[in-house]
């Protein structure tokens, strides 16, 4: 009771050309970020 047995959702930030994506680690699917203010350092 009150416990969650699901694994946490894991993701990774990926950059290809000038577009940033969120990659779901479980399915390898990429979701493009339409507007982002991300910068790689």
What do you get for the CA distance between the two ends of the chain, in Å? 43
State the pLDDT at residue 1: 65
- What confidence score (pLDDT) does residue 40 get? 66
> What pLDDT was estimated at residue 9?
84
Distance from C-alpha of 24 to C-alpha of 5, rounded to nearest angstrom: 19
pLDDT tens track for 1-41 = 678 888 888 999 888 888 889 999 888 899 998 876 666 67
How far is residue 34's CA from residue 41's CA, in Å, rounded to a whole number? Answer: 20
For residues 15 and 26, what is the distance between their CA atoms, to the nearest angstrom?
18
In terms of Cα–Cα distance, which of 34, 1, 33, 27 is closest to 13? Answer: 33
């Amino acid at each position: 009771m009150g416990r969650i047995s699901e694994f946490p959702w894991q993701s990774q930030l990926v950059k290809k050309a000038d577009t940033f994506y969120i990659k779901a680690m479980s399915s390898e699917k990429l979701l493009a970020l339409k507007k982002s203010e991300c910068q790689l350092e």
